[in-house]
């Protein structure tokens, strides 16, 4: 049911915001030069996703974006629907892995647009 999916996605978004704002603000992490600008749900099309927008202090004027696709199946999984923090934790771990273990953020960006990685 679409309303169940929307409610589940809102709950995951709320949990993810809490995790990212806490985790990415701890001093001493390798990504401490990165701050979260925004976390939102993009449900404008048939494929929904959670979007994280980031700022990197050595690249002023650049806004970086990262997406996590939210499959409708997630909202039908009884384990996930019971505890949306579980999915939010998985998503935040993937983002952190992308920031710490993946390639660096792009060196160049378009100040008028989001630079996706």
Query: Residue 108 — pLDDT band, cuts 50, 70, 90?
Result: confident
pLDDT digits (tens, 9 = 90+) for 10-65: 999 999 999 998 765 554 444 567 888 999 999 998 889 999 999 888 888 899 99
Between the alpha carbon of residue 4 and those of residues 7, 9, 60, 72, 82, the distances in Å are 5, 9, 40, 10, 12
Q: Which residue range forms the structural domain that includes residue 70?
A: 2-116
Q: Do 41 and 50 form a contact (C-beta atoms < 8 A)?
A: yes
With H, G, I as helix, E, B as strand and everything else as coil, classify residue 60. coil
How distant is the alpha carbon of residue 116 from its chain centre?
12
**pTM across the whole model:** 0.84
Number of domains in the chain: 1
């Amino acid at each position: 049911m679409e309303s169940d999916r929307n409610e589940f996605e809102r709950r995951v978004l709320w949990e993810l915001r809490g995790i990212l704002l806490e985790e990415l603000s701890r001093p001493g992490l390798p990504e401490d030069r990165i701050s979260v600008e925004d976390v939102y749900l993009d449900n404008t099309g048939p494929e929904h996703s959670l979007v994280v927008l980031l700022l990197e202090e050595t690249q002023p004027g650049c806004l970086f974006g990262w997406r996590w696709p939210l499959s409708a199946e997630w909202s039908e999984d009884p384990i996930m629907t019971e505890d949306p923090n579980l999915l939010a934790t998985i998503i935040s771990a993937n983002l952190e892995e992308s920031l710490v273990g993946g390639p660096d953020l792009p060196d160049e960006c378009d100040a008028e647009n989001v630079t996706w990685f």
